[in-house]
Amino acid sequence: MQVRETLAIDHAPTFTNRSGIHISKITLGFIVGIFVCGIVGSGFLVYHFISCPKEPKCSVGDISTTTSGPSVGIPVPKLTAADFLLPTALKPHHYELKIQPFFAEKDFMFDGEVVVTLEALEDCKNITLHSLALKVPEKEIRIVENGTEREIGVSGTSMVETQQFFVVKSNEVLKKGQFYRVLLKFHGILNEYMQGFYRSSYRVGNDTRWLAATQFQPTDARRTFPCMDQPDLKARFTISIARPKSMISLSNMKRVREASVDNNPDYLWDVYEESVPMSTYLVAFVVCDFAKQTDETGMVSVWARQDAIKSTDYALNVGPRLLKYLERFFNLSYPLEKMDMIALPDFSAGAMENFGLITYRETSMLYEEGISAINNKHRVATVISHELVHQWFGNLVTLKWWNDLWLNEGFASYMEYLGVDAVEPSWMSMDLFVVLELQNVFALDALSSSHPISVDVANPDEINDIFDRISYSKGATIIRMMDNFLTSELFRRGLNTYLKTLMFDSATQDDLWGFLTDAARNGGVFDNDTSVKVIMDTWTLQTGFPLVTVTRNYDDGTVELQQQRFFLINQTSEEKEDPLWWIPVTYTTSKELNFSNTSPSHWMRGERSVQLHDVVIDKSDWLIVNLQQSGYYRVNYDDENWRAIVSDLNDPVKFRKIAPANRAQLIDDALNLARGGYLSYVTALEVTRYLQQETDYVPWKTAINGLNFLDSMLQKTGQFDLFRRYCLSLLEKVYHQVGFVDAGNSSMLTVYKRVEILTLACQLGYSDCVDRSVEQFNMWIHQPNPDLHNTISPNLKSLIYCTAIKYGEQRMWDFAWERFMNTQVASEKEILLSALGCSREPWILIRYLDRSLTDAYGIRKQDVFRVFGAVASNGIGHTIVFNYLRSNWDQIRVYLGSLTNLNMIIKYSIRRLNTPFELEELKRFADVHLKDSGRTVKQSIEKAEANISWMKRNYKVITTWLEKVTKVV
């Protein structure tokens, strides 16, 4: 959505709202009756400030649209976050919410009423709430003064469309210090876009079963009931839900009683106990006919479709164990008496941390032993861990405003690994962090169109835009870095004090920094001149991350470290002066070989360069900086140091003395330094040659990520076979080591390694891999009842399905499609959706895209991006998807509805563009159709530009090197 703009009045005094953002403050006499008009679309945006007694804190200003009158041509400044914050005159204390959904018999509507108890912090005549897509009859609104129970008249209402404000105008002044109850009735639609209060369905035989569920984060509670929909405006909630007698309801708190519904004998009211203070985005309720299981304590319950309830066994096993671990970690009990977790057929996110009622996408909570792969089990544990962390970090103490979203998501994304490591220690979760989080986010954060972790956001579209890998993965990575430089004991001590002090309140990142600084100083890690804020502001308020270049003086033994911002497109000559970071420095040498000490030995204190004089190292030895990749930065070395590292990597004994995480770091840094133009590709590719003797998972996972980029760039060139043959030579040893049999006693990392290696081999067309995949798929086809008897190992399904469909006949695609239509297992549907995009027949791929944009074939809106992504990842598919996107944009936009879903489609459809023609076509399309898509298109365009620049710089260098090492003349 295009950001609408509002009028700024110069030289006005200011007051500060709840989130510390300054808003213009104008005297009464100046604002009464002022009107300013400006064009908005085909009509005019009319700004009329409402008169308020003494202080204009009751309203920022009303905005409405009209369709007549001339434009006065006044430029309208951009709205800021301050303009989207509610006035500060009123504070909510309690909501009594009653809501009744109606299903097919009444066209998926809902009715409700809410009583909001407000405290007047200032005299005011206007009550401003958030409301969106609701009908709120003015004649049924009442204002009652607490205590006296005197009713105050309502003189009118108005809607501020841009800010989604609903203003109720009272006949009398609401007096400072007094409490009032505002009673509103409302009506809405159970939408199909997974926002607010929405409808979902599933099939049992030929019957369609309906349910209704909520998703309010970040700003969609206002789609369900009028409220003060800001994270800092916490209140208590007493919720009643009317549901059909054949269904059940769930909400945040325990149900206390049932009651009959007047004039509707088919419905019952479920009345829930009053909640703890919480933000509106954490309110949740579900009406469904699901089955449940409860743990032995009666504390944790899991809910799912009746035919999927057996798939909740693992969630019910791991959830209580994670809850107990987190209580010990935070040294603070879980604040509610129950925890419900429910798997929903339609859900826009992976899961949502609603207080006491966590909602999940089915694939994030259901695991079917013998059908689902081990990565599905890992996903379930990780997502549950993430959402349970939020019960403390986000729910108990909540961000004041969405600019600190990372405070919620970064902590949960880091601590999910700690939680899983505690309950499933054999999975080696902390080893996975480097490749799944840190290295994963580097590519996005290396773009000039990236954003700081803590970023100014105003309207709901901008807020939704930052639910990305920067907030999650970069946030997690810098928190892990902080855990290392503070020490885990002091890190936990600071968190505990933060949570206990600010319980049921809201906070900013500076609040957290203060508690962590106190812990660090009291623990002797920091002196009184060092603070967490000074260090961490350089990581949260600046875009990007540093490249630390290590240059050794081989004569006097000194080492110089220099920092600069890393870009995928090297922009040092055009950019303003680089930002500077506080960088914790850890290192070891080939003599010392101590990779376990991640406490910094030195700091770069926002300095461009530092000299290290105490490094003890021989000229012929190497130096490796950033142990275990505990710091969020890349490292480059002088040529001599790189040569020493490459020499030891290629030694069959010495390479194992370098920690696996640092072997992964060397591969990732080298390939990406070359990609960004900081290092010769000859050096980077020389680093990869050692992989022919590598057998550990983490380095191979990193290498495959890097090789996949090269694959995508070279795939449509005449020299691709050189690359293919080189990769197969690297795979030879490890391919035979992992084997094509999924041994039942394999560790999780061994399974992951097998899947990654076999997938790459099949992707490169290795005949043994292709033949075995087609053979196993054919065995499945010939089973008497393939829906009940699948002979393919769950862990190998993804690669075998895809390979067989890619290299097999059309009957294999048709068979897989039939299995997709028949299966009720969510994880199986997900694998099949991706595999069906592997066909090499253009007409099949186009038909598949067509089928994803209708309800007729069982592909849910939440999974359409998976179809587009699967086809785009196909060698021939990315051009097909790009053309399809442009040709069918209007249909796609109408069908998917929400900007979040559309951005996912855009991102996956255009991520592999690497020719000037494709780039120009993308820019033309974006100029017309994608102006409201936020950073997604900007980042995609920048990536395409980077890819084109990469091809010009590196194609000849790489192919010449490949010719040499593969001995091709």
304-338 per-position pLDDT tens digit:
999 999 999 999 999 999 999 999 999 999 999 99
Residue 35 reports pLDDT greater than 70: no
3-state secondary structure of 348: coil
Beta-strand pair 14-16/142-145 = unpaired
Chain mean position to CA 522? 35
Provide the pLDDT for residue 45: 29
Beta bridge partner(s), residue 110: 101, 188
List the 43-48 sheet strands across, edge first: 35-40, 43-48, 62-66
Residue 575 reports pLDDT greater than 80: no
Determine the residue type at 332. L
| pTM check: above 0.85 | yes
199-253 per-position pLDDT tens digit:
999 999 889 999 999 999 999 999 999 999 999 999 999 999 999 999 999 999 9
Residue 723 tokens read as 């690359």
Name the more confident of 32 and 748.
Answer: 748
Provide the pLDDT for residue 570: 60
Positions marked active-site: 387
With pLDDT > 90 as the criterion, what percentage of the chain qualifies? 74
**Residues 106, 111, 113: CA angle, nearest 5 degrees:** 170
Percentages helix, strand, coil for the chain, rounded to the nearest 5? 45, 20, 35
pLDDT band at 441 (very low <50, low <70, confident <90, very high): very high
pLDDT band at 391 (very low <50, low <70, confident <90, very high): very high
- What string of DSSP letters covers 882-930? HHHHHHTHHHHHHHH-SHHHHHHHHHHHSTT--SHHHHHHHHHHHHHH-
**Average pLDDT, stretch 871-891?**
88
The radius of gyration of the chain from alpha carbons, rounded to an integer in Å, stands at 29
**747 CB contacts (<8 Å, ≥6 apart)?**
426, 428
Q: Which of 88-92, 388-392, 746-750 has the lowest mean pLDDT?
A: 746-750
Burial of residue 295 (number of CB atoms within 10 Å: 0-12, 13-18, 19+) = middle
Provide the pLDDT for residue 900: 67
With pLDDT > 70 as the criterion, what percentage of the chain qualifies? 90
Q: Which of 307-316, 373-382, 910-919 has the lowest mean pLDDT?
A: 910-919
| CB-CB contact of 954 with 710 (8 Å) | no
344-358 per-position pLDDT tens digit:
999 988 999 999 999
pLDDT band at 916 (very low <50, low <70, confident <90, very high): confident
Backbone angles phi, psi at 350, to 5 degrees: -70, -40
Provide the pLDDT for residue 684: 97
3-state secondary structure of 190: coil
Of residues 772, 702, 684, the one with CA closest to residue 736:
772
Residue 930 reports pLDDT greater than 80: no
Chain mean position to CA 516? 26
Burial of residue 898 (number of CB atoms within 10 Å: 0-12, 13-18, 19+) = middle
Angle, helices 374-390 vs 748-763, to 10°: value is: 120
Of residues 422, 369, 364, 412, the one with CA closest to residue 391:
412
**784 CB contacts (<8 Å, ≥6 apart)?**
none
Provide the pLDDT for residue 29: 32
757-811 per-position pLDDT tens digit:
999 999 999 999 999 999 999 999 999 999 999 999 999 999 999 999 999 989 9
Name the more confident of 120 and 69.
Answer: 120
Provide the pLDDT for residue 41: 30
3-state secondary structure of 25: coil
pLDDT band at 128 (very low <50, low <70, confident <90, very high): very high
Provide the pLDDT for residue 474: 96
For residues 876 and 721, give the distance between their C-alpha atoms in angstroms, rounded to a whole number. 16
For residues 451 and 576, give the distance between their C-alpha atoms in angstroms, rounded to a whole number. 16
- The greatest distance separating any two alpha carbons of the chain, rounded to the nearest whole angstrom, comes to 95
Residue 736 tokens read as 């035979």
Residue 675 reports pLDDT greater than 60: yes
Residue with tokens 């601590």: 415
Angle, helices 935-965 vs 681-688, to 10°: value is: 70
DSSP letter (8 states) at residue 436: I
Sign of the alpha-carbon dihedral angle for 245, 248, 253, 255: positive
Residue 660 tokens read as 């696996």
What is the residue-averaged pLDDT of the chain?
88
